[in-house]
A and B are shown apart, each in its own frame.
Chain A
Amino acid sequence: MSKHFKLKRGFNIRLKGTAEVVLEDAPAPKTVALKPTDFPGLTPKLKVKAEAKVKAGDALFFDKYNPEIIFTSPVSGTVKSVNRGERRKVLEIVVEPDGTSEYLKFTKADPSTLSREQIREQILKSGIWPFIKQRPYGVLAKPGDVPTHIAISAFDSSPLAPDSDFLFSKEQAALQTGIDAVSKLTDGKVFLGLSPEQSSGVFSKLKNVETNTFSGPHPAGNVGIQISKVCPIGKDDLIWTLSPQALVYIGRLFATGQVDFSKTIALTGSEVKTPKYIKTIHGTELTDLLKGKTKGEVKERIISGNVLTGEKVDSDNFLGYFDQQITIIPEGDEYEFMGWAAPGFDKFSASKAFFSKLLPKKEYALSANMHGGERAFVLSGQYEKFLPMDILPVHLLKAILVNDIDKMEQLGIYEVIEEDLALCEYACTSKIKVQNILREGINSMIKELG
């Protein structure tokens, strides 16, 4: 029963620097790292100390409140350091690969012959479990739960996002094995959301899933938006979400009996010399990967992820846990004389208040400048244009600001996470920090209701 959903609301930010369909091997990284900060609300407990020897698949740390959830090393080697920030918060656990590929052994079996319990055990022990997120809240899925359904978006619609049909073109078998495995974890269905362009790609050939297509501008590719159309989340519902990359990891795990965390990412953005795809490994260090790849003309901002939800990283930092792209844009920390009053042929905007509206195809090198100061909510009807859901975003955010749990629940906090409202933050005239406010609201929901 495949359905087509035509989403009208949303917006594509037209950035320069889409990756060319060229694949390049990255140099073997000198270090890789896991960053507990990639998981909102996680309290990590370390399992290893510096200097410890680890195999690929050995636990580096675990979730203090769900000790079954472990986070494993993507490579075999030595733990080089545990980097801490303020108040000794663990920022990174860095592993230095030893060049050999020693893997921890897991069961090699067709998932359809295994029980739910066996599949769960194996995914947990391999350290791939943290790739499973739950809705509501977009936090780590709890191993004891059985989700109503599982939802997967096969495409990424965010700015300069990689083409997932290209990323996973050789992974059809792994994707299928992954789907067969996760479908055992739910009594409901596994939903797969495709874009209309994917009608003949690798994802269209997958079985054992209910496929729906979603057309329209970003955030059509966000799994949260797709869930709201296919299986809206109520108070007692639990939906698990996975990325295609997670399916591939799970598929490889069951097909080969060992973890294989190699992945392909896209190097994008206006400050990249030749944007393209790069084959590398989970948690790779960026120094060597980016060497000689950037233009170096202006002060640059390196983002692990996309410009809406990614994280700003230093060039010697690491690729984020879930990130499938690196975006490099100008920092833009410069004053602009009377910038707000200029006609604005070169000022890209989701509004109609600049003459750039007359150039509907032009791509822009947008910087990280705020283009204005933060204000109270003044305009109305602005956010709704960017959220293809029946939710009143401003009223939800106001409910969060006054910490009204009932109102948050009624106005739809179960259905959205930061990425779904990121466009509102981009377009906001008052420069309100929408994503931060939403996460605060989610945190107080978790605190109040568990």
Chain B
Amino acid sequence: MKALKNFFEKTKPYVQKGAKYHWLHSTHDAFFTLAFVQKDTSKSGTHVHDFIDLKRTMGIVVFALVPALLMGMYNIGYQHFGALGQLETAAFFDLFLFGFLKVLPVILVSYIVGLGIEFIFAQFRGHEVNEGFLVSGILIPMVMPINTPLWMIGVATAFAVVFGKEVFGGTGMNIWNPALVARAFLFFAYPAQMSGDSVWISASGIEKMADGFTGATPMAQAVLGETNLNVWDAFVGLIPGSIGETSTLAILIGAAILIITGIGNWKIMLSTVLGGLFMGILLNIFAVNAYMEMPFWEHLIIGGFAFGAVFMATDPVSGAQTDKGKWIYGFLIGVLAILIRVVNPAYPEGMMLAILLMNTFAPLIDHYIIQGNIKRRLKRVQQSA
């Protein structure tokens, strides 16, 4: 480790302002701070600082995403071999390896494109590279259908980082969740590649699907009135869907990690689920078609609902910032997600749009909560006077 530290320390003068390799400054700094917590000590204010920093925080989020990612990889193999009708003969490891090899390039493209842009922006602004993209870079692949072409992932990532984040001033300033901006960009720019029944299964080279295998997501099936959902498969994650969203079980493990470490906000998670259940029950009561008749609780285990509630809605930057605001914000995400999912005629999913919509309204919710705080404080002073 000493050699590595010496390397970073010795090369540091070469990337300082005015030095020959100054254009590498942000890159040098990013890798140095990643490898070593720096020796800087407090210059003013409090003399001791908590051990927690943004790297730790984001690192824990990535860690919490791992179960869902691994299950997603396995499921891609599962769906592929299922489509071939070869599930009985394929070993566990075959399924996982197939998925792993499919997902790895997507992750690499996302990180290389996204971090590349982040490094450039950090260099121009003279900032340190922010850790936010460590999470966004893994979230982007996980919300994509497996058949999305790599160039599309690259374009969407670039769009998300530049227009979803950097134009607002970087991590901490953005209005929308960057990963969902990437997803929404592809959804509206290339709708054919982002929906339908063929995009969820890695079926290249498969000429004939096995009997009874459609490749449709449970939601697409529900629209058609085929409500024979295998609840256990949906919960464990053996259903077609975006890479990371299928396994509610794995997402729950991630949620537990986020809640125990206090990194993810349980209030938003809980209120989103409550909002979803509330809308689901309402739709059940007034049901006029098969999708509306689908048992309300099944919404929680299909599509991107669980994934969105745990990993997307809880983004502290784009979500509501006040405590009460978080309850309202989460609840409305749940309500809107199910409403859009069931009622809109074109596309059987609503989580992405619900979160983006509530990201937009989060500052408004906060505004009213802050006004409430101001009024309450004013009243308190008047009373004591």
Contacts and interface: CB of A to CB of B under 8 A. Distances in A.
Nearest to A336: B37
Contacts of A429: 50, 52-54, 56-57
B323 interface: yes
Interface in A396-441: 410-412, 418, 422, 425-431, 433-436
A307 B45 CA distance: 9
A435 B51 contact: no
Contacts of B326: 381
A335 B8 CA distance: 11
Contacts of A298: none
Interface stretch (B102-110, B201-209, B314-322): B314-322
Nearest to B370: A395
Nearest to A376: B172
A237 B53 contact: no
Contacts of B128: 373-375
Find the residue from A341, A376, A391, A427 having the highest chain B CB count within 10 A: A376
Interface in B308-331: 316-317, 319-323, 326
A87 interface: no
B148 interface: no
Interface string B25-53: 00000000101111111101111111111
Interface in A311-347: 312, 327, 329, 331-341, 344, 347
Contact of A426 (B46, B320, B380): B46
Interface string A335-371: 1111111001001111111100000000000111111
A384 interface: yes
B358 to A, nearest CB: 15
Contacts of B319: 380
B36 A339 contact: yes
Contacts of B323: 381, 384
Interface in A140-157: none
Contacts of B130: 375-376
Nearest to B323: A381
A122 interface: no
Nearest to B383: A232
B60 A353 contact: yes
B5 interface: yes
Given A349-B52, A351-B261, A369-B39, A380 B321 contact: yes
Contact of B261 (A231, A235, A334, A352): A352
- B36, B59, B262 interface centre (most CB from chain A within 10 Å): B262
A366 B38 contact: no
B57 A379 contact: yes
B377 interface: yes
9 contacts: A13-B48, A352-B261, A353-B262, A353-B263, A366-B48, A370-B40, A371-B52, A410-B378, A430-B172
Top 8 closest pairs, chain A to chain B, by CB: A372-B53, A376-B172, A339-B37, A234-B381, A380-B321, A347-B51, A352-B262, A340-B55
